[in-house]
């Protein structure tokens, strides 16, 4: 099935925010946290604080693609397919961490990392940080898409529809109750059951699935429908307004707001993009985003590993360089991450996926 090119644009935008946020402002290996007295870095103290919500966008896109590309395959085959897609790159990242640990550059958490590779580190009761805590996302994503796939297999139509509506609403209500709508602490369990990352996945994947159901039901009517001048203006204003709001939310400093607002805005923008009636959704419908978007998962998995290695092996040994050239330091880290993501995709993700598909599917 042909990729939706403007959806790949959204992925590229989201991964860019995550990499820049973790490099500068947020996370254990960020420059701001490790060099708090560097004046130029203090700018990032209040920016990108909500950049972690970019993963909500990934969850929503995953839910949409789950239903949009849904095929009649067995549950076992679906789980194998997702393991083949997600696990090899994670295993590679863990192996890199283990090698780096021989030079005391990274301190590994061996038993936690086993759960990370098995994609079991964010299932609520089974919870582990791992050497690379950002990989909570892969486990939560795996759990979310598997659960919603199982629901899609339910033959009783009313029960299926009820679960597709109830689960995302229930997940966000629990997050609202536990954290007042804040998603800023994914690595935590409440009462040994309610894992914040898992709840974010259940909410986001469910919202994306809802958009896909709507898309598949009305695609023929909307494709044939010709907008009048007023409707065109309204759609273009909506696309521009929603995209601007999301950029503001993720990048620009603002008061703490309920993150469910971001989820709603991203879901609306996704719906507008897939129906492709506005100028922005058409402009971004280019092949370049497909070519760039294929690297986003490898970049996500490897980016914190690269950041930690550079921090512990280089920047801590040369703090004066960071203090004198903070923006050059940021540029070096981001370039290293992008190059590592490129090679990880071509040398690990792509060949491993091809080999494992041939062997097990």
Which are the contacts of 58, defined by CB distance < 8 A and separation ≥ 6? Answer: 11, 14, 137, 141, 204
**252, 25 contact by CB (below 8 A):** no
> Of 320, 266, 296, 234, whose CA–CA distance to 61 is shortest?
266
What pLDDT shows up at residue 353?
92
Q: What is the largest CA-CA distance in the chain?
A: 65
What pLDDT is attached to residue 187? 66
Burial class (CB within 10 angstroms; exposed 0-12, middle 13-18, buried 19+) of 327: exposed
Residues of the chain with pLDDT below 70 are 1-2, 124-126, 185-187, 255, 361
Contacts of 28 (CB under 8 A, 6+ apart): 133, 308
Return the structure tokens found at 38.
Answer: 């560097």
Nearest to 9, CA basis, from 297, 284, 272: 284
Q: Rounded to an integer, what distance in angstroms lies between the CA atom of residue 327 and that of residue 312?
A: 18
Q: Evaluate whether 51 touches 20 at the Cβ level (below 8 Å).
A: yes
Q: What is the pLDDT of residue 159?
A: 93
User: Residues 229, 231, 237, 240: what is their CA dihedral angle, to the nearest 10 degrees?
Assistant: -100
Residue for token digits 């993720």? 250
**Phi (first) and psi of residue 189, to 5 degrees:** -110, 140
Cβ atoms of residues 59 and 204 within 8 Å: yes
What was the pLDDT predicted at 186? Answer: 60
Q: What pLDDT score does 340 carry? A: 97
């Amino acid at each position: 099935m042909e990729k939706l090119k403007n959806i790949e644009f959204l992925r590229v935008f989201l991964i860019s925010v995550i990499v820049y946020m973790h490099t500068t402002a947020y996370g254990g290996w960020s420059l701001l946290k490790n060099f708090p007295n560097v004046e130029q870095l203090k700018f990032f103290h209040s920016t990108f604080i909500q950049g972690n919500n970019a993963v909500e966008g990934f969850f929503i896109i995953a839910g949409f693609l789950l239903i949009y590309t849904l095929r009649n395959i067995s549950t076992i085959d679906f789980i194998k397919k997702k393991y083949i897609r997600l696990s090899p790159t994670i295993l590679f990242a863990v192996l890199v961490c283990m090698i780096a640990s021989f030079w005391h550059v990274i301190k590994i958490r061996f038993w936690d990392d086993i759960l990370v590779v098995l994609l079991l580190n964010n299932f609520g009761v089974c919870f582990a940080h791992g050497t690379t805590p950002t990989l909570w996302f892969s486990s939560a994503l795996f759990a979310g898409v598997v659960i919603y796939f199982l629901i899609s297999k339910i033959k009783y139509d009313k029960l299926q529809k009820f679960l597709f509506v109830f689960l995302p609403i229930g997940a966000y209500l629990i997050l609202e109750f536990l954290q007042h709508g804040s998603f800023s602490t994914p690595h935590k369990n409440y009462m040994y059951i309610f894992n914040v990352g898992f709840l974010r996945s259940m909410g986001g994947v469910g919202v994306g699935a809802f958009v896909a159901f709507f898309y598949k039901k009305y695609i023929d009517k909307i494709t044939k429908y010709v907008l009048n001048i007023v409707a065109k203006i309204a759609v273009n204003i909506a696309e521009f307004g929603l995209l601007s709001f999301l950029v503001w939310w993720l990048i620009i400093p603002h008061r703490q707001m309920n993150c469910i607002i971001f989820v709603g805005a991203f879901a609306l923008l996704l719906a507008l993009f897939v129906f492709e009636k506005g100028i922005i959704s058409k402009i971004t419908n280019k092949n370049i985003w497909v070519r760039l978007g294929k690297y986003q998962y490898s970049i996500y998995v490897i980016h914190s590993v690269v950041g930690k290695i550079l921090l512990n092996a280089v920047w801590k040994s040369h703090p004066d360089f960071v203090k004198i050239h903070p923006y050059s330091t940021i540029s070096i880290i981001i370039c290293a991450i992008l190059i590592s993501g490129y090679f990880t995709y071509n040398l690990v993700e792509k060949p491993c996926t091809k080999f494992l598909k041939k062997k097990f599917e």
